[in-house]
Amino acid sequence: MPGQGSDVGKMQTLLNAVVFNNTKQSEQSAEVLCVGYRKVTFLVDITAAGTADDTIETQVYLQVYDGSNWFDVVDGPFASWEYDHAQVTNAPRPGSSQLREALSWEVSAPKFRLDVRSPETTATKTLTVTIKAIGVE
């Protein structure tokens, strides 16, 4: 059974500069408690390295816990929460190869985590991912 998790009331760093490459292609965040919060805002910061490549994708799965199993949230922006290497490389921040955005989620479970997968990254075409969460009462 998963542990108690941490409270999302203050800003929580779920993934901190995790580099997805040829050896690291998946990562799960710690579990986060969100009892008492009606919304969570995710702050996403992704940096790409290497030549732009739209075949390299990173998928982010928001998962909720029912007390015994984890379930993927498949509605709203979380139905296809993904980034491709070219999208980040060509992000609207001139010369930065960095994408920053925020997504909001109406809390629908007492506990969540993120499961991030990037199976096509390589030694030279990498993505560095930081995701934070802020709870709103």
pLDDT in tens, 6-49: 555 578 899 999 999 999 999 999 999 887 788 899 999 988 88
Q: What is the DSSP letter of 77?
A: G
| Helix, strand or coil, per DSSP, at residue 85 | helix
Burial class of 4 by CB neighbour count within 10 A (0 to 12, 13 to 18, 19+):
exposed
- The ranges assigned to domains in the chain are 6-123
Residue 51 pLDDT > 80, yes or no? no
Q: What is the DSSP letter of 81?
A: -
Residue 3 pLDDT > 50, yes or no? no
Report the residue count for the chain: 137
Q: Are 24 and 84 contacting, i.e. CB atoms less than 8 angstroms apart?
A: no
Q: Are 11 and 134 contacting, i.e. CB atoms less than 8 angstroms apart?
A: yes
CA distances 53 to 74, 102, 119, Å, are 26, 23, 13
Calculate what percentage of the chain has a pLDDT beyond 90.
Answer: 35
Global pTM value? 0.85
